[in-house]
Amino acid sequence: MSATLFNCATTTSSSSSAFKQRASSFTSSSSSSSSSSSSSSSSSSLSLRLQSTTTSTSLNNTNNFNGKVGGVFVVKAATSYSEKNLGSATVRGTVRKNNEDRLAATFNQSPQPGKPSVIISAFDGHGGDAVSDWLSKNLHQTITKNMNPDKFPLEALTESCIECDEVCIAPPEGFWASFGERGIGGAKCGSTLALAAIVDGNKLCTANVGDARVLLIRDGKTVQLSVDHIPDDENERKRIDRGNPNLRKSMVEFTNGTWRVGGVLALSRAFGDAFLKTSGKFEGIGEKNADYGSGFGLNAEPDCAFEQLTEKDTWLLCATDGLFENEVRGGGGGLTNEKIADMLNATTADPQTVAKELIAAAVKCGSTDDITIQLLKL
């Protein structure tokens, strides 16, 4: 497969739309074995969303196989994955002094029931790399700790993101604490997230915060399992302004060609960015702009999705926004979901090679941002 296979003309994205429903149950497989300990931290009012495009069918009904039974996708048998199934690649953007993206991957060949056997993630840092770097070293451990057979996994993902964000925005300790900014890397350092975990060998659980994406290639088409958290989204703007104590001025302003939280951040959800999160405290002597006071409605609550993997699922992708065409904000640079699916459907190369080719194609199409990819062959 060549990265020059496609031109970079703008196309309309038509990712497979997954219907959404509240998760009523989650059946854990009883065949998994052992791993790390449990215990979970409680989190209030978790907003969980189940996306499902899969109609479960008994694996016993496999006449006329080919991935479907009577037009219904066949549930994939529990599968063990390793580093050989993964392609990881990252590149610094042309407009960046440093690559602020990070990535992480965890494989456990013998997980305890309800624990993930695979976690892959991509983090897009901004205002420095301190938050993205910390998350890449700590988020997976927190998820593994919080997941257990008695808890719906999307709840554990949400709890883990909120728990880690509390660390990311915590005030400094010690004598100088009252003089410093909150947050790892300072009050204006933050990160987005795209994450996918596989539980019991065939249950896919995903989470995203910000505009990093999770894509599943199913039957040759793209299923986007993430939601772009950007203030261009009217629903996100309304969510943020519902907590606005000042009715005369919106917390989201149209600045420099796009909507921005506090007139600054072009994301509506992110880890870190303590100066845009409620604290009731001054955000450090170093702050020169009074408008940077805390309380702009930003949060790190993820959108989560659940999918039962099927025999027609071929690739799983977590990537930062630099890979993608910027459709909402006028286009330009990067790849559409369809172009990504076309490249993945055409290739016979190994995951590592394919990950690099996807980045090369995005750069050729004009992406100037940092790009980070985690690509799992299913």
Which stretch, 172-176, 230-234, 330-334, 353-357, has highest mean pLDDT?
353-357
Query: 272 pLDDT exceeds 60?
Result: yes
**Which amino acid is it at 313?**
D
Q: Which pLDDT value is given to residue 249?
A: 72
Contact 188, 283 (CB under 8 A): no
Contact 268, 236 (CB under 8 A): yes
Query: What pLDDT digit, counting tens, does each position of 57-108 carry?
Result: 333 333 333 344 445 678 988 889 999 999 999 999 987 889 999 999 999 9
Secondary element (H or E) of residue 91 = strand 86-91
d(CA 341, CA 363): 17
Which stretch, 16-30, 192-206, 234-248, has highest mean pLDDT?
192-206
- Tokens 């993630």 correspond to 121
Query: What pLDDT digit, counting tens, does each position of 213-231 carry?
Result: 999 999 999 999 999 999 9
Confidence of residue 44 (pLDDT cuts 50, 70, 90): very low
- Tokens 């301190």 correspond to 130
Contact 318, 121 (CB under 8 A): yes
Name the region of 238 (left: φ>0; alpha: ψ -120 to 50; beta: rest).
Answer: alpha
CA atoms within 13 A on the CB side of 246: 11
Contact 205, 81 (CB under 8 A): no
Contact 68, 312 (CB under 8 A): yes
Which stretch, 29-38, 255-264, 322-331, has highest mean pLDDT?
255-264
Looking at per-residue confidence, does 144 or 249 come out higher?
144
Backbone angles phi, psi at 14, to 5 degrees: -135, 50
Distance of CA 179 to the CA centre of its chain: 33
Count the neighbouring beta carbons within 10 Å of the beta carbon of residue 259.
22
- Tokens 């995903």 correspond to 206
Backbone angles phi, psi at 284, to 5 degrees: 105, 145
Joined together, the tokens standing for residue 94 give: 């042309």
Distance spanning both ends of the chain, measured CA to CA: 19
Joined together, the tokens standing for residue 107 give: 């494989």
Delineate the domains of the chain, giving CATH numbers in brackets. Answer: 44-59+89-377 (3.60.40.10)
> Which residue, among 135, 81, 142, 136, has the nearest Cα to 104 in the 3D structure?
136
d(CA 275, CA 278): 8
